[in-house]
Structure 1
Amino acid sequence: MTPTLPPAPAARATLWSPLAYHVFRAVWIASLASNVGTWMQNVAGVWLVTTLTTSALLVALMQTATSLPAFLLSMPGGALADLVDRRKLLLGTQGFMAVVATILGALTLGGQVSAFGVLGFTFLLGMGSALNGPVWQTVTTELVPRPVLPFAITLNGVSNNIARAIGPALGGIVIAYYSPGWVFLLNGVSFLGTFAVIYFWRRDAEESNGPAEHFLGAVRAGMRYVHYAPALHAVLVRVFAFGFGASAMWALLSVVVARKLHLSAGHYGVMLSWLGAGAVAGAFLMGRAGGRLSLNQRVLLGGLVFVATNLSLALIESTYILGPVMFVSGTAWLMAMTSFSTTVQLNVPKWVQARVVSIYMLVFQAGMSLGSLAWGELADHVGLQMALYGAAAWMLASALLAFPYPLNAPEDLDLDPADPWLDPPLADGPADPDDGPVVVMIEYRVAPADWPAFRAVADRLTRLRLRDGALRSGVFADLADPTRITEFFYVATWGEHLRQHRRFTRDDQAIEEQVRRFHQGPEPPRVTHFLAFPLAAAPVEVAAPYPNVELQH
């Protein structure tokens, strides 16, 4: 069975509704503590590298060291999250990051770490975060019902930004009075709370009702799903462009504070606290007035704010002005990132959710990594101010993407499995899951006058077949009988076709029903399955989920 979702709230959902679900509440509180430790670690790591080297590029590479592992491991992490027990995967990633942070702290206190060493350990923590990210985001969908999900995603962003408001200040205090090494040790301890909550979470085990997916096949299935899901293309284009331009602020803020303003680590922490406070305020603002702006408008507004952010970092030299600028930037950051994440999770069914989230995170982190590298290199060669001007110009140009690539929130999308597709076709012969390829043919009777309308809907169904596992799909007409139309799709193995039956959603089924309405005649469309020849001496007729269905070998 699949994990049981909590019941939907009786009243209209609000920002606080997710906290009524006790498991989500416990996970949220634990993740808040862990996020505080992570932001303390970020401040300590960046500041330690800033003091160990004079290169702006090495400082900027701290952002790359954080983001690059997501680029490399997000997709494997997403596949693992869809294939293995998510609870066990979370325990493994939380434990790994706790060990890495503790070792870095011990080495730093012993004076045995260099700038490159900090970069290396940051990369290892990034690896843990990359494997943790997809499963952490998708677990939210198991803890709250769908009507509450957008608010749960926003609260997850609030958790990170409360931590951003508190963590940098705490990190700056510990650095000023003690050492970055103690910050790294505290971060290691912060993972233990999340580890404990996940350990005691009694998640319903998932029972497979079909052949298991192989790891590489699962990765390909995730990529294929994104390729044939147009609603996700806009998210990926927009989040890459946004991450590339916004990365200048994250990568160069410490350089602005240390080299341009000649201030201390404490002031850098205060700037990050302004960002976090702005994001928290943005969550309350979205809870009250967010419905007046579409997801597309929120991201557009967030991008325009970052134009002003980059220009402010280049031109303003007063922390009294930069603080409020960072506050507004934090609001814009939360507004944009929760809009991206909400769009992805509301458009994807559970069976592929972690893989799609991992691809989304990969594209976002690719933008952040490449942007950090580009703006850091530019700052070293043409100066800090010119690099920030370039980032502002990028954000202004990327705002135009809101028109060809708008973000759309689905209103009545039903991603639950389609009931008639839950019972797979049966084979009364040697149909092993690895046997194949398989060709499925569905024969309709369609009046020639209905062909244009039929083809328009059939094309949508073809895209669904390809998205869910078909290697080829199409619709053909019989030249000798104009009313006879055959849809076919070609699948690599019998097991993959059985998985197709579990992937078809009720929303997909509505499209299939539109196709079937064009069928004429007393009998329903005739469905035939063909398995690669030869596997049996003679054709064998068997039962299938549709009436009058044959499986032929």
Structure 2
Amino acid sequence: MVTPGGTTAEAPVSAWAPLKTAVYRNLWLALLAANVGTWMQTVGAQWLLIDERNASTLVALVQTASLLPVLLLALPAGALADTFDRRNLLISVQLFLVVVAVGLTLLTATGRMPPALLLTLTFAFGVGQALTLPAWAAVIPELVPREQLRAASALGSISVNVARAVGPAVAGVLISRAGVAPVFGLNAVAFGIFAVALVRWRPGNARAVEVPERFTAALRAGGRYVRHSPIVRRLLRRALVFLVPGSALWALLPLVANRRLGLNSSGYGMLLAALGVGAIVGGVLLPWVRTRLSANQFLLVAGVLYGAALIVVATVEVVPVVLVALLPAGLAWVVVLANVNAEMQIFLPGWVRARGLAVYQVVFAGGQAVGAFAWGLLADLAGLVDALIVAGVLMLIGSVTSQIWPLPELRGVNKDPATYWPRLRLAHEPDPRVGPVLVVVTYLVRRDREQAFLDAMDLVRGSRQRTGAMRWGLFREGEAPDRFVEVYLVPSWDEHLRQHGGRLTGADQEAEDRARRLAEGEPEVRHLLPAAAGPALADGGTP
């Protein structure tokens, strides 16, 4: 199949294909229950605050309290998920969430839930979510084939948005008939279901880490990878441009329902259900959309749809019209964010996948948390209508920038693991904690190949820095102009061993092979260790 840009695309995978895998299907259904509980909890918390003084800010702060922990803790959570057993981590966190939900239930039922305590416990709930998200996202590629990852990502969005459609509706009925406490109680049950499903899951190929990375080293390595990966940075920037104005709708919709449309909690649930239905349709249509529009075309269309929906919600007080406008907004939300999330999962190597996805979660949650707080303040200062119109205009402007900051083309990028460096043979084996380690590689390059070599080494630089190098430089010897010396500094011997044994990909190998083909003979390699570590001279192997 040929895409609009003239490139060949793989045949579309059914949106439901991952559900044919029993393990993924069981966990997806359990996660759906947890997502329903999460949306019920969000509606309950927001409705408890709707009559408080400064309700605009307090209601928006519910979203901020839920998402701020992701902003603060996603990176440590990603390092934990890449370092330790993800299943055990997920089980422990779900049990913690059950305890928090039970606490919310009991305190609300006994009338001991002031706004400050509600926001504190909402923050605690967000802590559990922050620890869950990177681990779960990193598990998905272990459950389904690579060609189904986009469909699995869309199913994840469908799960969230089925929950967004069902959870608020159920919460609205319960709140109107029995109060908020039963809503929090059902949330506890929902996360208990997810915990049980995780306990019953027995991974056939459990991920084994022979020597787990130290936590701080793993954290720094994840940050280094993202910092030196232009593709990851572009994906994150694209998500942020959509999220900041998009968060206005989620943050201010309770106030639209109550103040402009005169709806009760059930009516608010109906508005969220409309967003959810649109999002479900978006998840189902995502494979179809990808075959008919280029990535940047559907970014433009989705941004225009969402921006128009924001303006309609701001200016129209007719409930059916607002409901219709919310359907394409939900569709656009999923089409953009599910695609960016899937591209991240496909692109990131396994060794750093949870940490890279954690950075995505930071951007996702941070964009919404900061955006929700800002839109809430703007609504208090300038009015609800003006805040939504400003958000709509920003979304329309942001959609145009998809032509300036387009999504990268990832077809043909080889991210499969590649172990192509020969085994190191030193005069003695250093302690893994020894460092920093200076690696020196000398190349002999003919004058007519210099520029091509320099261009090739720029790609090598990115590879070195993503996989462990703190600093990198390429120098020419003054006494022998045809000799180029690559020098890079790795934090420890352990980090360099990990470069040898699991961090490199097919794309890294292609970049290095290109540079080596432009040099004469094999490069000379030396490893320089701190003097206190003793003599450590390499015998001419590959770095």
TM range (shorter): over 0.9
- Is the Cα–Cα contact under 8 Å of residues 57 and 380 in structure 1 kept in the other structure? yes
The residue that corresponds to 2:155 in the other structure is 155
Whole-angstrom distance in 1 between the partners of 2:313 and 2:353: 38
Structure 2 SS opposite 1:474: strand
- 2:51 is the alignment partner of 1:85: no
* Cα pair 1:441 1:527 within 8 Å, conserved: yes
2:525–2:538 contact (8 Å) kept in structure 1: no
Where 1:419 maps in the other structure, the secondary structure is coil
Code of the residue aligned with 2:26 in structure 1: it is A
C-alpha deviations, 1:467-509, integer Å up to 9, x for none?
2111221222223323322222111211111112221111110
Note the residue ranges of structure 2 that are not aligned, 5 or more in a row: 1-9
Q: Secondary structure at the match of 2:246?
A: helix
Task: Please give the alpha-carbon distance, in whole angstroms, between the structure 2 residues aligned to 1:66 and 1:541.
Answer: 52
Q: Where does residue 427 of structure 1 map in the other structure?
A: 426
Instruction: For 1:510-549, list aligned pairs within 5 A.
Output: 510-521=510-521, 524-536=522-534, 544=541, 546=542
Partner of 1:478: 477
2:235 and 2:408 in contact (8 A); partners too: no
Matches of 2:386 and 2:11, distance apart in 1: 52
Instruction: After TM superposition, give the deviation of residue 424 of structure 1 in Å.
Output: 4.3
Please provide the CA RMSD for this pair.
Answer: 1.9
Please say if residues 472 and 490 of structure 1, whose CA atoms lie closer than 8 Å, have aligned partners that are also in contact: yes
Q: Is the 8 A contact 2:12 2:288 kept in 1?
A: no
Matches within 5 A, 1:258-337: 258-337=258-337
Residue 410 of structure 1 corresponds to 410
Structure 2 residue 436 is matched with structure 1 residue 464: no
The alpha carbon displacement at 1:430 in A equals 4.9
Pairing 1:31–2:31 present: yes
The answer to whether structure 1 residue 236 and structure 2 residue 240 are counterparts is no
Q: Residues 298 and 339 of structure 1 are in contact (CA less than 8 Å); yes or no, is this contact kept in structure 2?
A: no
Distance in 2 between residues matched to 1:370 and 1:145, nearest whole Å:
36
What's the secondary structure of 1:262's corresponding residue?
Answer: coil
The CA deviation at 1:393 is: 2.1
Given that 1:153 and 1:338 are in contact with CA atoms closer than 8 Å, whether structure 2 keeps it comes out as: yes
CA distance in structure 2 between the partners assigned to 1:285 and 1:441 by the alignment: 51
* Equivalent runs, 1:362-381 vs 2, <5 Å: 362-381=362-381
Are 2:41 and 1:41 equivalent residues in the alignment? yes
Query: 1:119-175: per-residue Cα shift (whole Å, max 9, x none)?
Result: 121111111101111111111011011111111111111111111111111111111
Alpha-carbon distance between aligned partners in 2 of 1:184 and 1:541, rounded to the nearest angstrom: 62
Paired residue secondary structure (1:420): coil
Q: What are the Cα deviations for residues 12-45 of structure 1, in whole angstroms up to 9, with x where unaligned?
A: 6321221121111111111111111111111111
TM-score (norm. length: structure 1): 0.92
1-structure distance, mates of 2:527, 2:536: 11
1:327-369 deviations in Å (ceiling 9; x for gaps): 1111011111112202211221011111111111112211111
Which amino acid letter does the alignment assign opposite residue 295 of structure 1? Answer: A
- The Cα offsets for residues 388-437 of structure 1, whole Å up to 9 and x where unpaired, read as 1211122122223313321124112222221323x642334251111122
Matched-pair contact (CA < 8 Å) for 1:49–1:118? no
Quick check: 1:83–1:213 contact (8 Å CA) kept in 2? yes
Identity of aligned residues (%): 38
Counterpart of 1:197 in structure 2 is: 197
Q: For 1:311 and 1:543, how far apart are their aligned partners in 2?
A: 66
1-side partners of 2:149 and 2:111: how far apart?
46
Q: CA deviation at 1:52?
A: 4.1
Q: CA deviation at 1:58?
A: 0.8
Work out whether 1:206 is the aligned partner of 2:207. yes
Q: Which residue of the partner structure matches residue 488 of structure 2? A: 489
C-alpha distance in structure 2 between counterparts of 1:288 and 1:541, whole Å: 54
Q: Counterpart in 1 of 2:394?
A: 394
CA distance in 2, matches of 1:195, 1:543: 52
Gapped regions of structure 1 (runs ≥ 5): 1-9
| Structure 2 partner of 1:76 | 76
CA spacing shift, 1:541–1:394, aligned 2, 3 Å = closer
Q: Any conservation in 2 of the 1:53–1:115 contact (CA below 8 Å)? A: no
**CA distance, structure 2, for counterparts of residue 330 and residue 12 of structure 1:** 22
Counterpart in the other structure of 1:185: 185
1:119 aligns to 2:119 (yes or no)? yes
Deviation for aligned residue 1:535 = 3.5
Q: Structure 1, residues 436-472: CA drift from partner, whole Å, max 9, x if none?
A: 2212122222111100011001111012111211122
1:440·1:488 contact (CA, 8 Å) conserved in 2?
A: yes
- For the residues of structure 2 that align with 1:424 and 1:96, how far apart are their CA atoms? 44
**Aligned equivalents of 1:70, 1:184: Cα separation in 2:** 21
Moved over 6 A (4+): none
Question: How many Å separate the matches in 2 of 1:316 and 1:395?
Answer: 18
Deviates more, 1:23-32 or 1:407-416: 407-416
1:98, distance to aligned residue in structure 2 (A): 1.1
Encode CA deviations 1:182-227: one digit per residue, 9 max, x unaligned: 0100010001221112112222333334x53221221111111111
TM-score norm. by structure 2 comes to 0.94
- 1:14 match: secondary structure: coil
Residue deviations 1:365-389, cap 9 Å, x none? 1111111111111111111111112
